[in-house]
Structure 1
Amino acid sequence: MSMRSKPLKCITNVIFDMDGLLLDTEIHYEKAFENIMKRYDMTFRKEYQLKILGCDGDTISKYFVDHLGLPCTHEEFQSQKDAEMDRLSQHCSVMPGAQKLVEHLHKQKIPIAVATSSGQQSFDLKTKDHKEFFKLFDHIVLGSSDPEVKKGKPAPDIFLVCASRFPNKPKPEDCLVFEDSPNGIQGANAAGMQTVMVPDPNLDKEMTKEATMVLKSLEEFKPELFGLPAF
């Protein structure tokens, strides 16, 4: 568990990212991007993926096409990415500690939700083996297909929309967000929420400094530190 630079505050509601945090999908995205770039005789680098972690589909396609110079349109890239992910994401595993934590919070009647940049089709595919698990959440906000989410992460929109849909209408400071990406942490911080980051081990430590707490795995999380019932 990391050192913390600011005191922790008690919270009432919890919001989870999905890709790379609840489900082990980042390995599939990495392979999908690698396959697409290979078609254009370009080499994929891990640093590319680390820059777009947590971003919505439009931002990702702009990064590869406009920034990296992939010789295709945004629509062509998106279509190829969707096809690759349809093939690769048939069976995603739950990340270590995720099941135990989510089931514990649900049992303790702590309001929990998911705020993911995925769209409906992508979400359905990645979660098809885990339908009972995702029924434990009060609600799920899909950033790429939800009309209320105007801007994707690192904007705060998805977290504010997610918080507004809890029946108890928590203030942003009453929410704790779990994320694996710097973009997600930035968005949650901008929303005024505390953040727990479980980053990719390859991520530069400098990119984790904005999080309230940094963990190697969800297995390390101690709910009582934020005023939640202990395991």
Structure 2
Amino acid sequence: MAPAGLACFDFDWSLIETDSDRFVIEYLSPALRKKLDERAMQWTDLQNECLKEFHEQGGSSQLVRESLTKVPMDSDMIKTCHLLYERGWDLAIVSDANSVYIESILEHYGIRHLFSAIVTNPAFWDAEGRLHIHRLTPADVPHGCPLGVCSLNICKGQEVDKLVQQRLGPNSANGSTLKMLYVGDGQNDYCPALRMKNPEDLYFVRKGRSLEKYLEKNSAAKDALPSRIVYWSSASDILKTIQ
């Protein structure tokens, strides 16, 4: 049975109320947090390097896990996820965070079961308790996004294409479309929004973040969106719109 629609969420500053990468590193070590802004390195690689240093300095996996229970999430965003799920929507996360952070935070808030897909950078714990994070798209296999707004390690538009294809199945060849909504805040959340084909689709753009600024500066990019744009400041704005 086809879902009522596909609801895609970015994670940092979208589903949750912070940047999980920065939040965790700052919780673990203010000195390492400072290095995030000083080192010239691809972001995912930098996260992995900071966690490596934390482990080498005697940092425990328990502290990393503890930090993930402190990440803030708006109760109205949790209500939004439950409401969409109850209405038969398929929920997915498309994020530049990592699988361990996302899985752990969703489990903490009791909503992991609401999401059918999590597309993000893979992460794992090794036998010594060190957390490793790798790029979703390896450095030697460029994803080839032509827009120039996606991160090197993930083209969110291409990943949403895969999610839509999986849900439409063979009917997609006949021009079928899927009702969609997308919640995002960053410039790399523009590419996936182009996958929404209907004027009744909802594109939730967080106010004051880089995505809103990108659309303000690029009228052609904004005009290319067939979906309805809903600017939001808090999760209550999304919940009210969906209700």
Write the deviation string for residues 74-111 of structure 1: whole angstroms up to 9, x where unpaired.
85346348978656323323225211211111111122
Match of 2:234 in 1: 217
Paired residues of 2:76 and 2:235 also in contact (CA < 8 A): yes
Paired residues of 2:160 and 2:192 also in contact (CA < 8 A): yes
In the TM superposition, residue 179 of structure 1 has moved relative to its aligned partner by 0.9
TM-score using structure 2 length: 0.57
Matched residue of 2:191: which SS? helix
Match of 1:128 in 2: 107
Match of 2:148 in 1: none
Matched, 1:196 2:204: yes
Paired residues of 1:13 and 1:110 also in contact (CA < 8 A): yes
Match of 1:76 in 2: 49
Match of 2:182 in 1: 177
RMSD: 4.1
CA separation of 1:90/1:218 partners in 2, compared to 1, >3 Å: closer, same or farther? closer
Matched, 1:92 2:71: yes
Match of 1:68 in 2: none
Q: Matched residues in 2 for 1:156 and 1:101: separation?
A: 23
Please identify runs of 4+ aligned residues in structure 1 that moved more than 6 A: 81-84, 167-170
Equivalent residues, number: 187
Match of 1:24 in 2: 17
Q: Matched residues in 1 for 2:71 and 2:233: separation?
A: 20
User: Unaligned 5+ residue runs, structure 1?
Assistant: 1-10, 49-57, 65-73, 225-229
Higher helix share: 2
Higher strand share: 2
CA separation of 1:85/1:111 partners in 2, compared to 1, >3 Å: closer, same or farther? same
Matched residue of 1:116: which SS? strand
Write the deviation string for residues 166-195 of structure 1: whole angstroms up to 9, x where unpaired.
3677766632211121212x2213445652
Which of the pair has more CA radius of gyration? 2
User: Unaligned 5+ residue runs, structure 2?
Assistant: 124-133, 138-142, 144-152, 217-221
TM-score using structure 1 length: 0.60
CA separation of 1:35/1:165 partners in 2, compared to 1, >3 Å: closer, same or farther? farther
Paired residues of 2:8 and 2:92 also in contact (CA < 8 A): yes
Paired residues of 1:197 and 1:208 also in contact (CA < 8 A): no
Percent identity over the alignment is 9
